[in-house]
Structure 1
Amino acid sequence: MIDVITSSSNYYNYARQEWNRSIDKYPTAIAYCKTFDDVKKAVLFAKKNKFKLRIRSGGHNYEGFSIDDGIFVIDISNLNRIEINYENNTVTAEGGASFGQLYNLIGSNGYPFPGASSSTVGVAGLTLGGGWSYSSRYLGLACDYLSEIKLINYEGSIITANKNTNSDLFWALKGSGGGNFGVIVSLTFDLPPKVDLVTTFNIYYSSISKDNQIKFLDIWQHWITNTTNKINMKASIDNSSYDGSYIYCTGLLYGTPNELMDILSPFMNIGGCNLTYENVSFLQSTEIISSFYNQYERFISYSRFASREYSHDELSKLVDIINEPRPEGSQTTSLKLYGLGGKVSEINKADTAFYYRNSNYIISIESNFEDNEYKEDNAKWIEEKSKYIYNITDGSYINFPYYPLNNYLYEYYGNNYKYLQKVNRKYDPSNTFSFQQSIR
Structure 2
Amino acid sequence: MRLNNILLFLSFILLNISISQAVKCVDYNNPNYYKFINPLYNNRAYCYIKAENASDISDAILYAQSINKGVSIRAGGHSATQFSVLNKTVNIDLSSLKGIEIDVEAQTAVVQAGVQVIELYNATTKYLLATTAGSCPTVGMGVVLGGGSNYFGGKYGYMADNVLEFTVVLEDGSIVKANPKNKYSDLYWALAGSGGGGFGVVVDYKLKLYPIPQYFYKNTIRFDIVNLDKALALLDTYVRSSTEDTREKIYANMYSQLTLKSTNMTPSASITFFYNGPLEEGDVEFRKLLTGFLSCPTTNATCTPLGRVTSMDIQTLKKTFWEVISSMSYDNNPLRQFTKGRFIKKLSKNDVPKSINDIYKYAVTNIINSTSLLKPETLLNINQAIFYHGGKQNQERTGSEDSPLNSFAHRGDEAMWSYTIVAQYNNTENDPLFSGLRKIVNSKLSSFGDKLNNNYPDDEVEDWQTGLYVTKSNYKKLQEIKLKYDSSNYFKFPQSIELPKNKNN
Q: Deviations over 1:87-109 (max 9, x none)?
A: 43211112222222221221111
1:285 aligns with 2:342: no
Mapping for residues 348-387 of structure 1, pairs under 5 Å: 348=397, 351-358=405-412, 359-387=415-443
Structure 2: how far apart are the matches of 1:349 and 1:6? 48
State the shift of 1:111 in Å: 0.4
Structure with the larger helix share: 2
Q: Deviations over 1:24-60 (max 9, x none)?
A: 3222211001011111110000011011210111111
Alignment correspondent of 1:6: 27
C-alpha contact (below 8 Å) 1:66/1:179 kept by paired residues: no
Q: Bigger radius of gyration, 1 or 2?
A: 2
Runs of 4+ in 1 over 6 A off after TM superposition: none
Given candidates 286, 292, 310, the residue that maps to 1:264 is 286
Report % sequence identity: 24
1:295 aligns with 2:332: yes
Alignment correspondent of 1:423: 481
1:332 aligns with 2:381: yes
C-alpha contact (below 8 Å) 2:47/2:90 kept by paired residues: yes
Alignment correspondent of 1:130: 147
State the shift of 1:343 in Å: 1.1
Structure 1: how far apart are the matches of 2:273 and 2:33? 33
State the shift of 1:209 in Å: 5.0
Alignment correspondent of 1:246: 268
C-alpha contact (below 8 Å) 2:74/2:95 kept by paired residues: yes
C-alpha contact (below 8 Å) 2:232/2:347 kept by paired residues: no
C-alpha contact (below 8 Å) 2:253/2:272 kept by paired residues: yes
Gaps of 5+ in 1: none
Question: For 2:267, what is the secondary structure of its paired residue?
Answer: strand
C-alpha contact (below 8 Å) 2:217/2:283 kept by paired residues: no
Question: For 2:165, what is the secondary structure of its paired residue?
Answer: strand
Structure 1: how far apart are the matches of 2:351 and 2:123? 48
Question: For 1:403, what is the secondary structure of its paired residue?
Answer: coil
Structure 2: how far apart are the matches of 1:320 and 1:19? 29
State the shift of 1:122 in Å: 0.9
Alignment correspondent of 1:183: 201
1:219 aligns with 2:234: yes
1:31 aligns with 2:49: yes
State the shift of 1:337 in Å: 0.2
Compared CA separation, residues 103 and 317, structure 1 to 2 (3 A) = closer
| 14-23 or 295-304, larger mean C-alpha shift | 14-23
Structure 2: how far apart are the matches of 1:134 and 1:25? 34
TM (normalized to structure 1)?
0.90
Gaps of 5+ in 2: 1-21, 295-304, 368-372, 400-404, 499-505
Question: For 1:188, what is the secondary structure of its paired residue?
Answer: strand
Q: Deviations over 1:159-208 (max 9, x none)?
A: 22111221111111111113621110121112123332213334333xx2
Q: How many pairs does the alignment contain?
A: 431
Amino acid at match of 1:407: D
| 222-231 or 268-277, larger mean C-alpha shift | 268-277
TM (normalized to structure 2)?
0.79
C-alpha contact (below 8 Å) 2:419/2:448 kept by paired residues: no
State the shift of 1:73 in Å: 0.4
Question: For 2:210, what is the secondary structure of its paired residue?
Answer: coil
1:67 aligns with 2:82: no
Alignment correspondent of 2:493: 435
Structure 1: how far apart are the matches of 2:307 and 2:89? 51
Structure 2: how far apart are the matches of 1:177 and 1:344? 16
Structure 2: how far apart are the matches of 1:439 and 1:275? 48
Structure with the larger strand share: 1
